[in-house]
Copies of this chain bind each other. A is one copy, B any other.
């Protein structure tokens, strides 16, 4: 599989794939002509990378995880641990978002959840009737 094919199969640009290679995330063997040659599994790997990115992992972290995986004595266990870690991250993020959602719902039910002036801290000193015009937010 050449780079263009992998790019369209994974939805990741050729340039990004080469960038990932430099970053040590995705190696490729080479054809006689020097073209990169990817195995079919690379698509899955890229999907994984995308997912990990969505979870807030940097490419460096993802690379470290992948490297650790490749050298783990018990790969099944290592994979399990990694997935479990990710699951934890996801659940923590879910909790945060749920809290945020509840807060937003509460604020929507109120008149005046946060106050800020029309232009915070700027010389809007045109009189007391202007000072009274506050932005509810």
A residues with a Cβ closer than 8 A to B are 26-29, 36-39, 41-42, 44-45, 48, 51, 54-55, 69-70, 75-76, 79-80, 82-84, 86-87, 90-91, 93-94, 96-98, 100-101, 104-105, 107-108, 111, 113-123, 135-137
**Given contact pairs A54-B100, A97-B94, A136-B79, A115 touches B41 in the complex (Cβ within 8 A):** yes
The 7 closest A-B pairs by CB, nearest first: A87-B104, A28-B121, A90-B101, A29-B121, A27-B122, A79-B137, A41-B116
B70, B82, B115: which contacts A118 (Cβ < 8 A)? Answer: B70
A28 to B107, CA, bound (A): 26
Question: Secondary structure of the A side of the interface?
Answer: helix
B97 touches A90 (CB 8 A): yes
A46 to B55, CA, bound (A): 25
**Given contact pairs A54-B100, A97-B90, A98-B94, A121 touches B37 in the complex (Cβ within 8 A):** yes
CB distance from A64 to the nearest CB of B (A): 15
B28, B69, B118: which contacts A135 (Cβ < 8 A)? Answer: B69
**Given contact pairs A90-B104, A101-B87, A101-B91, A120 touches B26 in the complex (Cβ within 8 A):** yes
